[in-house]
Amino acid sequence: MTGQAAADTADLAALSAAQLLKMERQIARRHSGMFPWLIPVWAFGNMACWLALWPLVFTGTLPLWAAFPISLINLSLVYLPTHEAQHDIIARPGTRLRWLNELVGHGTSWMIVYPFEMLRVTHLDHHRHA
């Protein structure tokens, strides 16, 4: 840790829980209300890349040994968009873009072979008990 980072950490340690919560809310307020366009782009761009691997491998255009690590990366990256949809981060229930939240959730969760609703219920249950 650098000298400045250590000093910043020491400054934070001196704050009360209420002061830290106030700071956290100020930081969150700067970022709330913005639409997370990166998430749907990430979700469907990643899925398009993964789906493109199948014909490329089957036609012999891309060797399996090269497609395999790419597909592993795709499958690792697919969880974030479905996670965001599970938490209704793309669009809350009752909002105009709610369909996009559900499309991202259902559209990406099949890649990891789990129904979106099951992922949502079990993940939110995890938060209740963790």
Model-level pTM greater than 0.85?
no
Dump pLDDT digits (tens) for 5-56.
544 666 888 888 899 889 888 888 887 777 899 999 999 999 999 999 999 9
Look at residue 7 in the predicted model and tell me its pLDDT.
47
- Evaluate whether 112 touches 123 at the Cβ level (below 8 Å): no
How does pLDDT run across 54-75, given as a tens digit for each residue? Answer: 999 999 999 999 999 999 999 9
pLDDT for res 106: 96
84-128 confidence digits (pLDDT tens) = 999 999 999 999 999 999 999 999 999 999 999 999 999 999 999
Please give the pLDDT value at position 3.
Answer: 44
pLDDT at 48: 97
Residue 4 has pLDDT above 70, yes or no: no
Q: What is the pLDDT of residue 11?
A: 81
